[in-house]
Structure 1
Amino acid sequence: MSTRIVLVRHAQSVLPRLGEPDDDQRPLAPAGLAAAEALVDRLAAYAPAAVLSSPLLRAVQTVRPAADALGLAVTTWPSLREWESGLVPSADWETPYAYSWAHPGFAHGAGESLDAVTVRAGKALARMGEEYPDATVLVGSHGTFLTRALIASGQWADWEFCRAMPMPAIYEVTV
């Protein structure tokens, strides 16, 4: 038995406030809302049995239009949330991110390491396989989480891959 998991990176969101902790309720920008609507036919074509999402608003808003079109609820799983980096948004965000990718076992302050995100992502993928055998699951989440999920599933990805990931983006894995 196998489960097809369709990973969707959220569409363009409102930018975080620099120097302040990120906001879990940060929504999609108007262009992101339009992009989420434009994804409906493409995501519905996968005929998912379930739609899961990170609890962060921007991820939910990206998959909700497809879920609504399919008559499915969006179920949030905390394990699908973005990397808890321990960093405050800054204009120089790429420097600490690049450092973390070069040293995936390193955690900034009380944040989680990228290795920990990979483990969390792998457990989430395995849970989907157990709960939705022989089905397709649509998953709304975030760039770093999705990249680490791809790694957990045995695919290759690195910092440049993550950094270049568009908003939205769609990837498939099978467990």
Structure 2
Amino acid sequence: MNKTIYIIRHCKATGQAPDAPLTKKGKEQAKELAAFLSDKNVHRIISSPFLRAVQTIEPFAAEANLKLETDNRLQERVLSSVSMPDWLEKLEATYKDFNLKYEGGESSSEATERIIDAVNDLCASDAENSIIVGHGGIISLLLHHYNQNAGIDSWRKLSNPDVYALQISGHDYQLRRIWVEA
């Protein structure tokens, strides 16, 4: 069976905290995203439980009359539980060494495994076309899984929102960016 998973990065948000809501612009983007997705014949929606991710897909879920599920495996990757003024350099290092792990955080390998588990569960489900909504860090690791050339630069190039289509047919897959910023 052929499956398409739309991988969505959340719209513009007020911050990084789990309860950070979308900005006014982010709410407008969520409506634009709903219109963009309207012809995709989606059967299932799974989102990070973080408020900005849920708010990103709520307009589409309401229009499509689909249940919005949340899954902790789609929440943003925690780089560290301690403040790191040089966090960007530390993040870059985790794209070079996927087993590198900072205090209270998870390695790129661990975070990749968790989002791949969520994707594999979707592939095993009856849903032909589905959506996952997440965050830049975790999504960039998913993109890297399917395209080894995608790394820190892929993370830098992600927009808010952003949409990729992952088409899977047996063991074959195709990943392409389909969002065009307005």
TM-score using structure 1 length: 0.88
Q: Tell me how far apart the structure 2 counterparts of residues 10 and 88 of structure 1 sit (CA, whole Å).
A: 25
Aligned position for 2:130: 137
Question: Which of residues 140, 148, 151 is equivalent to 1:147?
Answer: 140
The residue aligned with 1:10 is: 10
Equivalent of 2:64 in 53, 70, 75: 70
Aligned length: 168
Shift >3 Å, 4+ stretches: 87-93, 153-156
In 2, distance between residues paired with 1:50 and 1:24? 23
Give the 5 Å matches for 1:21-170: 23-87=17-81, 92-133=86-127, 135-154=128-147, 156-170=149-163
Between the aligned partners of 1:71 and 1:167, the Cα distance in structure 2 is 24
Q: Which structure 1 residue ranges, 5 or more long, are not aligned? A: 17-22
Contact in 2 for aligned 1:150/1:173 (Cα 8 Å): no
1:17-66 deviation digits (Å, cap 9, x = unpaired): xxxxxx21111111111111111111122110011101111111111111
| Alpha-carbon distance change, 69 to 158 in structure 1, aligned in 2, over 3 angstroms | same
Q: Is the 8 A contact 1:3 1:132 kept in 2?
A: no
Residue 153 of structure 1 deviates from its aligned partner by 3.3
- Residue 145 of structure 1 deviates from its aligned partner by 1.2
Counterpart secondary structure, 1:14: coil
Q: 1:34 to 1:137 in 2, by over 3 A?
A: same
- The whole-number CA distance in structure 2 between the counterparts of 1:85 and 1:105 is 12
Q: Which range is displaced more, 153-162 or 89-98? A: 89-98
Q: Deviations over 1:133-163 (max 9, x none)?
A: 5x10011111111111122335641101111
In 2, the alpha carbon distance for the partners of 1:110 and 1:87 equals: 5
C-alpha contact 1:11 1:58 (8 A) present in aligned 2: yes
CA contact (8 A) 2:5 2:131 kept: yes
In 1, distance between residues paired with 2:136 and 2:151? 12
RMSD between superposed Cα atoms in Å: 1.7
- Kindly tell me: are residues 92 and 37 of structure 1, through their superposed partners in 2, closer, same or farther at Cα, counting changes over 3 Å? farther
CA 93–105 in structure 1, closer or farther in 2 if over 3 Å, else same: same
CA separation of 1:67 and 1:88: change in aligned 2, threshold 3 A: farther
TM-score, normalised to structure 2, is: 0.85
